[in-house]
A and B are shown apart, each in its own frame.
Chain A
Amino acid sequence: MYKIGVVGDMDSITGFRAVGLSVFPCSKPEEAEKIVMKMAREEYAIIYIMESLAVQIPETIDKYSDVMLPAVIAIPDRNGSTGRGLDNVRKAVERAVGADILFGGDK
């Protein structure tokens, strides 16, 4: 059985704990890096990480983009979306196609 975890600042993650996800409060990027790596070693299939933290540890997150598990997904924190999540999709398209052909027009 796999687990789902959420990494982010204390105030943003309360809601996720309520639905039964494991939460890891953390605010510093170095800390987040360690937590994510530790979670990846354990049986976490999905790791949600707040965008504000995700932008600070891109290497750690990219490390898991080519393996099947875990899925590291950036979600907006309570300060609202920074567009970083959509940026990831855009980056994937760019990587696959060689150019951004999906979102180039409407941005």
Chain B
Amino acid sequence: MADERLNVNPTRMQLTRLKRRLATARRGHKLMKDKRDELMKNFLELAKENARLRSEVEEALAVVYKDFEKARAVMSSEVLEESLMYPKQGVKLSVSRRNIMSVNVPVFDFTAAAEERGNLLPYGFARTSGELDGAMAAVTAVFPDLLELAAREKETQLLAAELEKTRRRVNALEYVMIPRLENTIRYIQMKLDENERGSQTRLMKVKDMVLNDAHSYAERLREGEDVIGR
């Protein structure tokens, strides 16, 4: 693939144009490579952080589920559902964007809006068990981490996509575009040189012929005159 060349006419104008393109491609390649390296650095840290956060959240969630299971065990399912029917806390989520290496990633800001401070439980204590209170506390505690996880994970995904794109571009430039341009430039240069040599010899030949005509060397040679030594 790399020995291919572009399908262009071997002219001087093309040569200049291609040389300019090659310079641009080289510069672009260098920039892309820098971008890729920087992205990679960010990304690897982020991915590690993401993995850590995820295992944390998963553990916490397991506890939450267990707590709710317990609550469900000691009280009837209907009462439980009913108790949680109208949550007192609402979540206000606003999304802004942050730019990391030209990748827009969302930033989630949330404010837990409770109707009354200090009392986040949407039920009275009369018909519910203590287990439910514990479960509520657990789920409230895990919630900020859950949001953080969402933000990190999205960031990881977006950066991964960008990194993949950049990587492809770097490779395409390095292994396809630049070699192809170089080959084409070499080809045009050789073609032009060849043309030059061709016209040079043609000129010499023509000059010979013209001189021959002007001084009629051939006839004078035939007459025995020493045309060369003269």
Residues of A within 8 A of B (CB): 1-4, 11-12, 14-21, 45-46, 48, 65-66, 68-69, 71, 73, 75-78, 80-81, 85-86, 88-89, 92-93, 95-98, 101-103
- Closest residue on chain A to residue B166 by CB atoms: A96
- On whether the beta carbons of B94 and A2 are closer than 8 Å, the reply is yes
A66/B161 contact (C-beta < 8 A), A4-B93, A18-B139, A80-B62 known: yes
For chain A, what secondary structure do more than half of its interface residues adopt (helix, strand, loop), or is it mixed?
mixed
- On whether the beta carbons of B62 and A68 are closer than 8 Å, the reply is no
Count of A-B contacts judged by CB separation below 8 Å: 137
- Give chain A residues whose Cβ lies under 8 Å from the Cβ of B150: 46, 48, 71, 73
A-B contact pairs, 30 of them (CB 8 A): A1-B92, A1-B93, A2-B94, A4-B147, A11-B72, A15-B64, A19-B91, A19-B140, A20-B89, A20-B90, A21-B91, A45-B95, A46-B150, A48-B146, A48-B150, A68-B97, A69-B106, A71-B106, A71-B150, A75-B57, A76-B61, A78-B69, A80-B62, A81-B62, A88-B153, A93-B43, A93-B44, A93-B47, A96-B47, A102-B48
For chain B, what secondary structure do more than half of its interface residues adopt (helix, strand, loop), or is it mixed?
helix
Any chain A CB within 8 A of the CB of B32? Answer: no
Q: Which of B41-69 contact A (CB under 8 A)?
A: 43-44, 47-48, 50-51, 54-55, 57-58, 61-62, 64-65, 68-69
A94 CA to B124 CA in the complex, in Å? Answer: 50
- Give chain B residues whose Cβ lies under 8 Å from the Cβ of A103: 51
A96/B43 contact (C-beta < 8 A), A14-B68, A86-B51 known: yes
- Give chain B residues whose Cβ lies under 8 Å from the Cβ of A69: 95, 106
- Closest residue on chain B to residue A81 by CB atoms: B58
